[in-house]
């Protein structure tokens, strides 16, 4: 009952006119930021942090958190319409979301993304409200071996992303792992694979890689195919731009899968929404009756990762508010904001400063409703992007891509990388190499290596530490099961054919 009373008090705080205004401002800014590649919620929160110094702490944290989860809503727009992911967590939405848009269903894709984000985001906040203390204690049991095993399981899911050619999928994954290793070794401070380029000492920027491999390569493919008109017919009327009941019914498990997977992985510091979106997509494909259709415009293939991406928000805020442990750059800045306001995140935050804790939690319920109301009417407006002629749209995409790559570092070298990765993506499409595993390997590679080396340091070089710990052993067993599942499926089909 304490939770019910806490939520009642939180809504009395969140529904104050001033706090409602800050919630709307944060959600609106977050949506715009999510649409613009390169900026991201972490950078925006950091930029606006000085503006909030003189604000009421409750209103300030409500606005900053609105930016945080609002950006996750907006991030799907360019991924679906233009195959231009603004963040790593939006990459997986390109697979089925963009294919739905190409088949003349951009409105349905945006609608599914918005509804899935609302459902999973709300579930994430509910779980944050009721399960905060016990789940926070569970997250503390994760150390380097557990993180390595979790990321290895994420890499194992690449076999579920594979189409007919698993070899090409694995080669794409290995290329991503190699690209992640470029830069300065954190343990020895020695340069690796920089080829004498000082600009590579900090590693490869994700924006240059993702936008190049997806957006620029798609433009090159369209040019090489000599497309003169956009082969997308957009139906008129809001009813025709929203998902049908059949599509929503098909996404029922995807909503549940994305909500639970996103929240659980979001609780783990350092895991992030990228892993949760890939894992939820892999789970959805594994349980689907038609896994071969994933990547061709399946609604469930969009709903699951979008849900996980947004449920991750509630999970990521849980260790920050209850333990004072941030799991990523955005939550680290949010915690810094609380400290600057004299608020101490931790187990006593709920009782000592209920206005801030419960006011923030209640505002997230309100914010999810605001974002749904804000995004669904904009579906028709966003889909008009696909009516723009290619000779006008392509220069706009290239300009935005260059701006996104340049804005993260201010280096012309990253623009060169953008072009190089655009050519790489074009070559991969021509040779039918999937791009998703490359991005997954790049995103997880650095953190996975760090977790492995830290684990070996903890055990004085003994690799058995990875199987001596129960959680790590379970995750490694799941990874092994995922890896052999395609082989078991082939054996089952072969036995079926022989029996018939």
Q: Is the confidence at residue 229, as pLDDT, over 50?
A: no
Burial class (CB in 10 A: 0-12, 13-18, 19+), 97: buried
Nearest CA among 265, 256, 260, 262 for reference residue 300 = 256
Domain spans of the chain?
2-499
464 pLDDT exceeds 80? yes
pLDDT for res 21: 92
Torsion angle (degrees, nearest 10) of CA 138, 485, 94, 368: -30
Burial annotation 172-194 (CB, 10 A radius, 16+ → b, else e) = bbebbbebbebbeeeeeeebeeb
* Mean pLDDT across 489-497: 60
The listed range with the strongest mean pLDDT (115-119, 165-169, 193-197, 343-347) is: 115-119
Query: What's residue 38's pLDDT?
Result: 57
- β-bridge mates for residue 184, sequence order: 191
pLDDT at residue 168 greater than cutoff 60: yes
Residue with more model confidence, 488 or 297:
297
Query: Residue 183, SS3?
Result: strand
Per-residue model confidence as pLDDT tens digits over 315-336: 888 877 876 766 666 777 788 7
CA dihedral of 154, 159, 163, 164, whole degrees rounded to 10:
170
Residue 213: partners with Cβ closer than 8 Å, 6 or more residues away: 421, 422, 424, 425, 428, 435, 438, 439
User: Over the stretch 396-449, which tens digit does the pLDDT of each residue have?
Assistant: 778 877 876 776 667 788 888 888 988 998 898 888 887 777 877 887 788 788
pLDDT at 228: 47
407-436 burial, b for 16+ CB within 10 Å, e for fewer? bbbeeebbbebbbebbebbbebbeeebbbb
Between vectors from CA 422 to CA 417 and to CA 424, what angle results, nearest 5°?
95
Q: What does the block give as tokens for 285?
A: 């494909």
The mean pLDDT value of the chain amounts to 79
pLDDT at 121 over 50: yes
Averaged pLDDT, 180-191: 82
pTM of the model: 0.71
Q: In this structure, how many other beta carbons lie within 10 angstroms of the beta carbon of residue 65?
A: 28
Read off the pLDDT of each residue in 158-184 and give the average, rounded to a whole number. Answer: 78
Write the pLDDT tens digit of every residue in 262-285: 888 887 765 667 778 888 888 888
Detail the DSSP E strand segments found in 94-223: 183-184, 191-192
Residue-level pLDDT at 231:
45
DSSP state of 388: S
Please give the average per-residue pLDDT across 79-103, as a whole number.
Answer: 78
pLDDT tens for residues 2-26?
Answer: 778 888 888 888 889 998 999 998 8
At 488 the pLDDT is 63
- Summarised one tens digit per residue, pLDDT across range 197-214 is 888 888 888 778 877 887
- The beta strands (E) that lie in 145-240 are given as 183-184, 191-192
Condensed to tens digits (0 to 9), the pLDDT of residues 34-81 reads 777 656 677 677 767 777 777 888 888 888 888 888 887 777 777 887
User: Does residue 164 carry a pLDDT above 70?
Assistant: no
pLDDT in tens, 453-462: 888 888 888 8
* CA-angle at 312, arms to 111 and 297, nearest 5°: 35
Q: Specify the pLDDT at position 239.
A: 55
Provide Rg for the chain, Cα atoms. 22
List the one residue out of 245, 244, 304, 236 whose CA is nearest residue 108. 244
The structure tokens listed for 246 are 């059949």
Mean pLDDT of 255-261: 88
- Token pair 């220069």: residue: 395
């Amino acid at each position: 009952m304490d939770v019910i009373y806490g939520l009642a008090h939180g809504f009395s705080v969140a529904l104050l006119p001033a706090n409602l205004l800050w919630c709307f401002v944060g959600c609106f800014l977050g949506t715009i930021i999510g649409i613009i590649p390169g900026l991201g919620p972490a950078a925006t929160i950091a930029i606006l942090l000085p503006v909030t110094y003189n604000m009421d702490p409750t209103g300030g944290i409500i606005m900053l958190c609105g930016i945080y989860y609002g950006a996750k809503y907006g991030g799907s727009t360019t991924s679906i319409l233009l195959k231009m992911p603004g963040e790593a967590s939006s990459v997986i939405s390109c697979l089925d979301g963009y294919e739905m848009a190409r088949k003349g269903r951009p409105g349905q894709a945006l609608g599914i993304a918005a509804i899935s984000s609302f459902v999973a985001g709300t579930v994430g906040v509910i779980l944050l409200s009721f399960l905060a203390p016990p789940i926070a204690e569970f997250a503390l049991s994760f150390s380097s071996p557990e993180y390595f095993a979790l990321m290895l399981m994420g890499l194992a899911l690449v076999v579920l992303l594979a189409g007919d050619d698993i070899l090409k999928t694995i080669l794409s994954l290995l290329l991503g792992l190699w690209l992640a290793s470029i830069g300065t070794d954190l343990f020895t401070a020695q340069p690796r694979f920089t080829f004498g380029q000082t600009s590579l000492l900090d590693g490869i920027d994700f924006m240059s890689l993702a936008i190049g491999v997806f957006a620029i390569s798609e433009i090159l493919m369209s040019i090489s195919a000599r497309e003169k008109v956009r082969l997308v017919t957009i139906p008129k009327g809001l009813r025709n731009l929203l998902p049908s009941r059949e599509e929503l019914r098909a996404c029922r498990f995807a909503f549940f899968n994305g909500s639970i997977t996103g929240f659980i992985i979001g609780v783990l510091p350092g895991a992030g929404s990228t892993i949760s979106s890939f894992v939820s997509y892999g789970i959805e494909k594994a349980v689907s009756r038609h896994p071969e259709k994933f990547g061709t415009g399946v609604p469930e293939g969009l709903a699951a990762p979008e849900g996980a991406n947004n449920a991750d928000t509630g999970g990521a805020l849980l260790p920050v508010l209850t333990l004072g442990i941030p799991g990523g750059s955005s939550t680290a800045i949010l915690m810094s904001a609380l400290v600057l306001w004299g608020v101490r995140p931790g187990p006593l935050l709920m009782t000592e400063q209920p206005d801030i804790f419960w006011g923030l939690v209640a505002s997230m319920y309100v914010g999810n409703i605001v974002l749904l109301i804000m995004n669904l009417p904009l579906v028709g407006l966003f889909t008009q992007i696909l009516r723009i002629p290619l000779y006008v749209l392509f220069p706009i995409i290239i300009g935005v891509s260059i701006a996104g790559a340049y804005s993260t570092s201010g280096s012309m070298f990253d623009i060169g990388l953008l072009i190089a990765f655009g050519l790489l993506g074009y070559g991969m499409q021509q040779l039918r190499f999937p791009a998703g595993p490359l991005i997954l390997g790049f995103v997880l590679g650095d953190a996975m290596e760090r977790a492995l080396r830290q684990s070996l340091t903890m055990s004085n070089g003994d690799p058995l530490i990875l199987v001596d710990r129960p959680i790590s052993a379970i995750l490694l067993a799941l990874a092994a099961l995922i890896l052999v599942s395609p082989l078991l499926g082939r054996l089952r089909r072969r036995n079926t054919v022989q029996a018939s």
